[in-house]
């Protein structure tokens, strides 16, 4: 079954964007995954093709209308009724590798990209959309977030990455940040690759990498480190 993404956006020309290149682009051309876009503005009903209006209660900016957005969602669900419906918003739950993996193992997703001050809350509730954030910052719209999610999912699809082992060693794969990486030359700007990585001792290399991953996670991401420790303590012992 081909993994499928249906993107609802005011700017369909932004896709596939970077996903049309490198491994994701080759996989798209092979048919390993499929991408469709739906222009939300096509569902506007007035001659100006308006998709937004002023917010109730006052305040700056504009809000995307629930009726227009809902009609676009209906069109997406007619094409792909089995796909989960995701909307990108800073109010959503933070996207994690665990959620990415679950989405990659499924049939795909319908991705709703908001603009302006956001989308009328009523359509989000009516459609029971999954609200996702890719970080604690504000973007001009949901399109970059959709590209981030699709990239994270597509690279996990069978046959997309060159080596399955690569994904298993990356950051977040085991709840830790990835260990530092080095390549030739062995000495560069008076900095030398750690001797253990040139030793040929695979067990020593694995131990060094684990220690580095743990140390970097503890120092740089205390939140991940605490979750990793809690999981390790809860794991049954032999």
Domain borders along the chain are: 3-154, 171-234
Confidence of residue 163 (pLDDT cuts 50, 70, 90): low
CATH of segment(s) 171-234:
1.10.1270.20
Considering only the top CATH level, what class is 3-154?
Answer: alpha beta
SS3 track for 64-97: ECHHHHHHHHHHHHHHCCCCCEEEEEEEEEECCH
Over residues 183-196, the mean pLDDT reads 96
- Whether the per-residue pLDDT at 145 is higher than 80: the answer is yes
Structure-model confidence comparison of residues 203 and 169, the more confident one: 203
- Whether the per-residue pLDDT at 211 is higher than 70: the answer is yes
Over residues 170-198, the mean pLDDT reads 91
Rounded to two decimals, the pTM is 0.90
Over residues 54-64, the mean pLDDT reads 96
- Whether the per-residue pLDDT at 165 is higher than 50: the answer is no
The rounded distance, in Å, linking the Cα atoms of 17 and 155 is 16
38 closest CA partner among 4, 80, 72: 72
- Whether the per-residue pLDDT at 169 is higher than 70: the answer is no
- Whether the per-residue pLDDT at 8 is higher than 90: the answer is yes
Are the C-beta atoms of 172 and 216 separated by less than 8 Å?
no
- Whether the per-residue pLDDT at 174 is higher than 90: the answer is no
Q: What pLDDT, on the 0 to 100 scale, is given for residue 166?
A: 57
Within this chain, domains 3-154 and 171-234 share the same CATH topology: no
For the chain, what is the mean pLDDT?
Answer: 94
Which tens digits make up the pLDDT trace of 76-95? 999 999 999 999 999 999 99
Classify strands 3-9 and 63-64 as parallel, antiparallel or unpaired: unpaired
Q: What pLDDT, on the 0 to 100 scale, is given for residue 86?
A: 98
Are the C-beta atoms of 136 and 111 separated by less than 8 Å?
no
């Amino acid at each position: 079954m081909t993994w499928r993404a249906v993107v609802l956006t005011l700017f369909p020309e932004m896709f596939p964007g970077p996903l049309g290149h490198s491994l994701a682009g080759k996989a798209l051309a092979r048919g390993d995954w499929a991408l469709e876009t739906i222009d939300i503005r096509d569902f506007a009903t007035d001659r100006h093709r308006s998709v937004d209006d002023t917010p109730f209660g006052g305040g700056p900016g504009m809000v995307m209308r629930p009726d227009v957005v809902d009609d676009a969602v209906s069109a997406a669900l007619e094409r792909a009724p089995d796909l989960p419906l995701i909307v990108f918003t800073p109010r959503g739950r933070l996207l994690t590798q665990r959620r990415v993996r679950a989405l990659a193992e499924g049939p795909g997703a319908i991705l709703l990209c908001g603009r302006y001050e956001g989308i009328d809350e009523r359509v989000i509730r009516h459609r029971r959309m999954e609200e996702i954030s890719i970080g604690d910052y504000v973007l001009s719209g949901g399109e970059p977030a959709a590209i981030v999610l699709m990239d994270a999912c597509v690279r996990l699809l069978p046959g997309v990455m060159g080596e399955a082992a690569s994904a298993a060693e990356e950051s977040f794969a085991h709840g830790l940040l990835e260990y530092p990486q080095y390549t030739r030359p062995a000495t560069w700007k008076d900095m030398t690759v750690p001797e253990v990585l040139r030793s040929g001792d695979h067990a020593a290399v694995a131990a060094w990498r684990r220690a580095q991953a743990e140390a970097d996670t503890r120092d740089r991401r205390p939140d991940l480190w605490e979750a990793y420790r809690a999981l390790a303590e809860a794991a049954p012992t032999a």
